[in-house]
A and B are shown apart, each in its own frame.
Chain A
Amino acid sequence: MFYREAGDFKTSYAEDSQTFPIKFDRYRYYAVLVIAFAVVPFVINDYWVNAVFLPFLIYAIAAIGLNILTGYCGQVSLGTGGFMAVGAYACYKLMTSFPEVSILIHVILAGGITAGVGVLFGLPSLRIKGFYLAVATLAAQFFLVWLFNRVPWFYNYSASGQISAPERTVLGVPVTGAETAPWAAYLVCLLFVTASALVARNLTRGMAGRKWMAIRDMDIAAEIIGVDPLKAKLSAFAVSSFFIGIAGALFFSVYLGAVEVGEAFGINKSFLVLFMVIIGGLGSIFGSFAGAAFLVLLPVFLKNLLVGGLGWPTDLAAHLEFIIVGALIIVFLVAEPHGLAQLWRVAKEKLRLWPFPH
């Protein structure tokens, strides 16, 4: 009834190819942005920011990054944790070496450095594909974690090998360190998420994205019609790593404040982000958000429900949580192999016909 193209006339090509062609969708999108930027910062407290919003927003950026590489370009990567570590350590070195430069610039630069590292580790993708590439990126994961543990220069020779974020401000408001107000940390991450999603969305529906998808669907055919696999694959690695690097930098500086590379950026992180992308939906920006929300919020929700609500023992709840999350992943993948994004797509198709489906 409300959700339809009919009556929403487009008079230019730009309007015709916009991200949200349906008026209802467009307004909903604006409403989400307004609520996220103008309402949420006033109502959240420490718990909501640190347990729910920051991990969700930061993992969403990482999932967008991995989705570009795996979902759009078809290159399976298990190096996400390692690339996040590059972002975190780059951010740390920049923060401590140039304390007068804004942290926002450091985060972006950290993304740039990660992009460079990603391209380097993406080189094997020109010769190997599929499972073999996954193994090659797995090597990146282990090598990078080993490197940051091994070379004291990366953690400024601190005795414990931990890196911890000193206090940095944006417009006089601290956004890293212990004195950070919850809304400030939230807004910084939200800013990066919004920008990342916008850039990623527009990249993937432009020339670059079409090239990536051509490579994903059939690389030989793509080469015949004139897509340069070298440029397409390496650009996918660069863009993907850029976003993952930003996620790593924020994860370290704004969210945790102190990290230890083996614990925070181990192989588990790589799998977690890969699961987010698969559950959310390969090749979909919305899917990255949905997957991140699913895997971040579900454990917190289950914990609060089982321990806080029902008063069960914590160990039982923790074990049940593994079982429930695992079972839900299997159920989702059996029922909808294309992820939560596909569910959303189907729902939209149905909504267009609602309430008169025939």
Chain B
Amino acid sequence: MRKTLMTAALGAMMAAGPALADLVVVDTSYRTGPYAANGIPFSDGYQDYFTLINERDGGVGGEKIKVIECETGYNTEKGVECYEATKGEGALLYQPLSTGITYQLIPKATSDGISLHTMGYGRTSAKNGAVFKNVFNYPANYWDGASHAITHILNENGGDISGRKIALVYHNSAYGKEPIRTLEELSKKHGFELMLLPVDHPGQEQKSQWLQIRREKPDNVIMWGWGVMNQVAIQEAVNIRFPMDQFIGIWWSGSENDVKSAGAKANGYKALTFHNLGSDYPLYDDMAKYVVEAGKAAGAGDQVGSVLYNRGMYAAMLAVEAMRTAQEIAGTSAINAAQMRDGMEALEITEAKMAGLGLPGFGPEFKVSCENHGGDGMGAVSQWNAEKGEFELITDYYQSDQEVINALVAEDSASYAAENGIEPSCN
């Protein structure tokens, strides 16, 4: 039994033999399980942008991009299996879209010399490129997000939030626990009271947490949720009549799927973002022409323009720009993983570049360097308009509290370096 299975599996792997010529990107997506509602649009956007580049421009610098998709179900074991299965095919970049899988892959990818782009998730202190050579989390990270939420509350309340009670409802995992340290620092600095409410995977059961919120009446609720947890939390908030404009979600808790199920009463719910929303960009015309109408869209092709689709597309755009940068530096279009890493480290996103791509003002300007793999921490707040059925930006991009965050990044990355015997260096 065992032997037949193995030989058959071997045969299947041989059949799927690698083609090493293209620029290989791996999309560890999850279109099944409790996180699928969020995993699908992101993956669709990510793949569609690469398809667009291949169809319209014939690839990057003449090299076609090959996307390998593998289904992880947000499960770390499957994520590791996927990584091991695909790294041999010349993969240049992984975008795990799961903090748990990211933690698994940081040591593995670093030792294999392959880059990880953990855009707005993963290990925050990877911002320090002197320690985390192969991990990039530009343009913003969780600690920026925590600070953005607090700054927004500060601005709403005339700059004084001492004595306010702020609750954090979080996914009880590495992902949800990330902002706690920053929020604790910020609560010392601004004098608010922090209340922690963990929600266990997958987050379908939150009655007791929201009962506690009803009893203790925090002034604001911040949420670090993902997948089905978001929908349930927003529904519960509606049920206890929590004022929606005092409820702020991280960027992973702010997509249409999360609020639509709660109906009109979810109106006014706020979520952070680090890129623009909607589909009112010239690029979308090309997307419609070359990808959607040509029948080459990933998935069902019905996600175009949604928040997470945009984010996936943004991630792919940053990947393509990094490839271009890498090709310029290396002087060859067929780059390898090490050259890709150098390209990511030299990436610069300017307004002119984005406008040239048909995405004017789509995200903040930033420049990556060895000392800073995480961008400048720019973010904005969006608000759900239930009537129109879309999220709208209600603030400009503003910077997170760099003083607090940089100190924490330095501390956490130093302890990682010490634990793993890494000598931080930028040469």
The distance in angstroms between the C-alpha atoms of A142 and B31, with both chains bound, is 28
Cβ-defined partner of B31 (8 Å) among A159, A179, A298, A318? A318
Q: Does B29 contact A (CB under 8 A)?
A: yes
Assess whether A149 is in contact with B198, with CB atoms less than 8 Å apart. Answer: yes
Closest to A315 in B: B31
The distance in angstroms between the C-alpha atoms of A170 and B73, with both chains bound, is 34
Assess whether A52 is in contact with B6, with CB atoms less than 8 Å apart. Answer: yes
Assess whether A178 is in contact with B110, with CB atoms less than 8 Å apart. Answer: yes
Write the nearest CB–CB distance from B130 to chain A, whole angstroms.
Answer: 18
Which residues of chain B (103-150) have a CB below 8 Å from chain A? Answer: 103-104, 107-108, 110-111, 123
Assess whether A161 is in contact with B412, with CB atoms less than 8 Å apart. Answer: no
Assess whether A301 is in contact with B15, with CB atoms less than 8 Å apart. Answer: no
Assess whether A300 is in contact with B81, with CB atoms less than 8 Å apart. Answer: yes
Q: Does B426 contact A (CB under 8 A)?
A: no
Assess whether A257 is in contact with B107, with CB atoms less than 8 Å apart. Answer: yes
Q: Does B88 contact A (CB under 8 A)?
A: yes
Write the nearest CB–CB distance from A164 to chain B, whole angstroms.
Answer: 7
Q: Does A263 contact B (CB under 8 A)?
A: yes
Query: Looking at the complex, which of B174-182, B274-282, B314-322 is the stretch in contact with chain A?
Result: B174-182
Which residues of chain B (93-111) have a CB below 8 Å from chain A? Answer: 99-100, 103-104, 107-108, 110-111
Residue among B8, B29, B108 facing the most chain A CB atoms (10 A cut-off): B108
Write the nearest CB–CB distance from B35 to chain A, whole angstroms.
Answer: 12
Residue among A177, A293, A300, A313 facing the most chain B CB atoms (10 A cut-off): A300
Closest to A182 in B: B84
The distance in angstroms between the C-alpha atoms of A305 and B12, with both chains bound, is 5
Q: Does B260 contact A (CB under 8 A)?
A: no
- Given the known A-B contacts A164-B103, A178-B108, A262-B200, are A307 and B70 also in contact in the complex, defined by CB atoms under 8 Å? yes
Which residues of chain A (275-329) have a CB below 8 Å from chain B? Answer: 290, 293-294, 297-298, 300-301, 303-305, 307-309, 313-315, 317-319
Write the nearest CB–CB distance from A95 to chain B, whole angstroms.
Answer: 11
Assess whether A297 is in contact with B6, with CB atoms less than 8 Å apart. Answer: yes
The distance in angstroms between the C-alpha atoms of A257 and B238, with both chains bound, is 41
Binary flags per residue of B192-206, CB closer than 8 Å to A gives 1, else 0? 000000101100000
Assess whether B9 is in contact with A159, with CB atoms less than 8 Å apart. Answer: no
Assess whether A160 is in contact with B174, with CB atoms less than 8 Å apart. Answer: yes
- Given the known A-B contacts A46-B84, A52-B9, are A260 and B32 also in contact in the complex, defined by CB atoms under 8 Å? no
Q: Does A342 contact B (CB under 8 A)?
A: no
Q: Does B76 contact A (CB under 8 A)?
A: yes
The distance in angstroms between the C-alpha atoms of A298 and B1, with both chains bound, is 11
Cβ-defined partner of B71 (8 Å) among A47, A159, A301, A318? A318
Assess whether B81 is in contact with A263, with CB atoms less than 8 Å apart. Answer: no
The distance in angstroms between the C-alpha atoms of A164 and B105, with both chains bound, is 12
Cβ-defined partner of B70 (8 Å) among A50, A305, A314? A314
Q: Does A256 contact B (CB under 8 A)?
A: yes
Which residues of chain A (138-182) have a CB below 8 Å from chain B? Answer: 149, 159-162, 164, 166-167, 177-179
The distance in angstroms between the C-alpha atoms of A182 and B180, with both chains bound, is 36
Secondary structure type dominating chain B contacts: helix
Binary flags per residue of B19-51, CB closer than 8 Å to A gives 1, else 0? 000000000010110001000100000000000
Assess whether A305 is in contact with B8, with CB atoms less than 8 Å apart. Answer: yes
Q: Does B77 contact A (CB under 8 A)?
A: yes
* In the complex, chain A residues whose CB is within 8 Å of the CB of B173: 161, 260, 262-263
Q: Does A78 contact B (CB under 8 A)?
A: no
* In the complex, chain B residues whose CB is within 8 Å of the CB of A51: 80-81, 84-85
Q: Does A340 contact B (CB under 8 A)?
A: yes
Q: Does A351 contact B (CB under 8 A)?
A: no
Assess whether A264 is in contact with B76, with CB atoms less than 8 Å apart. Answer: yes
Assess whether B6 is in contact with A304, with CB atoms less than 8 Å apart. Answer: no
* In the complex, chain B residues whose CB is within 8 Å of the CB of A178: 107-108, 110-111
- Given the known A-B contacts A309-B12, A314-B71, are A298 and B5 also in contact in the complex, defined by CB atoms under 8 Å? yes
Q: Does A248 contact B (CB under 8 A)?
A: no
Binary flags per residue of B291-307, CB closer than 8 Å to A gives 1, else 0? 00000000100000000
Assess whether B80 is in contact with A50, with CB atoms less than 8 Å apart. Answer: yes
Cβ-defined partner of A256 (8 Å) among B73, B76, B88, B178? B76
Q: Does B420 contact A (CB under 8 A)?
A: yes
The distance in angstroms between the C-alpha atoms of A164 and B123, with both chains bound, is 13
Assess whether B81 is in contact with A258, with CB atoms less than 8 Å apart. Answer: no
Binary flags per residue of A178-199, CB closer than 8 Å to B gives 1, else 0? 1100000000000000000000
- Given the known A-B contacts A178-B111, A340-B1, are A257 and B201 also in contact in the complex, defined by CB atoms under 8 Å? no
Q: Does B407 contact A (CB under 8 A)?
A: no
Write the nearest CB–CB distance from A331 to chain B, whole angstroms.
Answer: 14
The distance in angstroms between the C-alpha atoms of A309 and B5, with both chains bound, is 14
The distance in angstroms between the C-alpha atoms of A161 and B176, with both chains bound, is 10
- Given the known A-B contacts A179-B111, A301-B8, are A262 and B172 also in contact in the complex, defined by CB atoms under 8 Å? yes
Cβ-defined partner of B100 (8 Å) among A260, A297, A313? A260
The distance in angstroms between the C-alpha atoms of A300 and B6, with both chains bound, is 10
The 9 A-B residue pairs with the shortest CB-CB distance, nearest first, are: A308-B16, A315-B31, A178-B107, A160-B174, A314-B71, A304-B12, A178-B111, A309-B12, A301-B9
9 further A-B contacts with Cβ under 8 Å, apart from A257-B107, A260-B173, A309-B16, are A51-B84, A52-B9, A160-B177, A161-B173, A259-B76, A262-B173, A290-B2, A304-B12, A308-B15
* Residues of B in contact with A (beta carbons under 8 Å apart): 1-2, 5-6, 8-9, 11-13, 15-16, 29, 31-32, 36, 40, 69-71, 73, 75-77, 80-81, 84-85, 87-88, 99-100, 103-104, 107-108, 110-111, 123, 172-174, 177-178, 180-181, 198, 200-201, 299, 412, 419-421
* Residues of A in contact with B (beta carbons under 8 Å apart): 45-47, 50-52, 55, 149, 159-162, 164, 166-167, 177-179, 256-260, 262-264, 266, 290, 293-294, 297-298, 300-301, 303-305, 307-309, 313-315, 317-319, 340
